[in-house]
Amino acid sequence: MDTRFLGRTGLRVSELCLGTMSFGGTTDEETAHRMLDRFTEAGGSFVDTADVYGTGASEEIVGRWLRRRRRDDLVVATKAYGTMGPAPNDAGAGRKHLISAVEASLRRLGTDYIDLYQIHVFDDATPLEETLSTLDGLVRAGKVRFVGASNYAGWQLQKSVDLSRLRGWEPFACLQPLYNLLDREAEWDLLPVCREEGLGVIPWSPLRGGWLSGRYRREQAAAPPGSRADVDPDAGGWPEAWGTYANERTWAVLDAVRDVAERTGRSAAQVALRWLMQQPGVTAPILGPRTPDQLEDGLAAAGTPLDDEHLAALTAASDRPLPYPFGLLARFRRAP
């Protein structure tokens, strides 16, 4: 597995990141540890978790695995924002919660430092200066090496970058956005901000909850029971619900993915991952396997790239008209 620099930092990470959201939930600890072992055997070094995953269970599982590894060989990322208790300050990106949250994550992970500490969601109730200055303090205290963001809008990300530059605070090293062949909205303004400002990009849900693995087909009337798509999006379910994605554009994208998979001898999941890995500015997609077989399939995306013809076919199949003002700006673009 190749390595890449995380944005403009000197930190090298593997070109695939292992996401651990299922650890402690659908993936038990023994299986999780086997998957972590296999990921590192394949050359992986980048592991992503969050305090809210299993309300700390994922971090604890990763932490117990870390005890028998050489810590400096790994890049461990976690996130804070979500509700971790009943008290008023048990959530958000305010100073009180972040300081408590990072100490709790350090204890659960059993480590002296966190390589990448990310704000899980933009906090519109906390002054941005409070969040960014707190992150800067965590870096200066040696508890955190780099800081990043996830689930920000373009203006929120750019304002964060500008404010950190103005105040001399530790800047965001990367963004963790939703980005895949079915969800390309990040291309409108988030990815241009990242490229312009030198932030790495570590996309979450690169297979959109199984949609891009090729498991669903046009002739199906509903999602298989128990699948990630078998949820009600209006009842707090994941947004990859059947009613959200079962449309002609999705089927056209899946047709293109399967066609490239057949022509290249890869699985549909490997093709979708490989397209994402080869997009400008992308550092490392976050694999979110629940089973060793899913991990093994994802790992095979490393290595041989797709050629230009196959990339173009996938991009064309997943393209769609840009909304205002992005469509208008594209028409009048003058940059070479």
119-142 confidence digits (pLDDT tens) = 999 999 999 999 999 999 999 999
Is the confidence at residue 201, as pLDDT, over 70? yes
Residues annotated as catalytic are 53
88-106 confidence digits (pLDDT tens) = 999 999 999 999 999 999 9
**Two tokens, residue 126:** 């906390």
Cβ atoms within 10 Å of 115's Cβ, excluding its own:
22
In whole numbers, what is the pLDDT of the chain averaged over residues? 95
**What per-residue confidence (pLDDT) applies to 283?**
98
Is the confidence at residue 221, as pLDDT, over 80? no
Look up tokens 């064309």; give the residue.
316
Reported pTM:
0.94
Q: How confident is the model at residue 335 (pLDDT cuts 50, 70, 90)?
A: confident
Q: How confident is the model at residue 231 (pLDDT cuts 50, 70, 90)?
A: low
153-175 confidence digits (pLDDT tens) = 999 999 999 999 999 999 999 99
Task: For residues 61-72, give the mean pLDDT.
Answer: 97
**What per-residue confidence (pLDDT) applies to 220?**
81
Which segments of the chain does DSSP mark as H helices, in order?
A: 29-41, 57-66, 95-109, 128-140, 154-167, 190-197, 242-245, 248-264, 268-277, 292-299, 308-318, 326-331
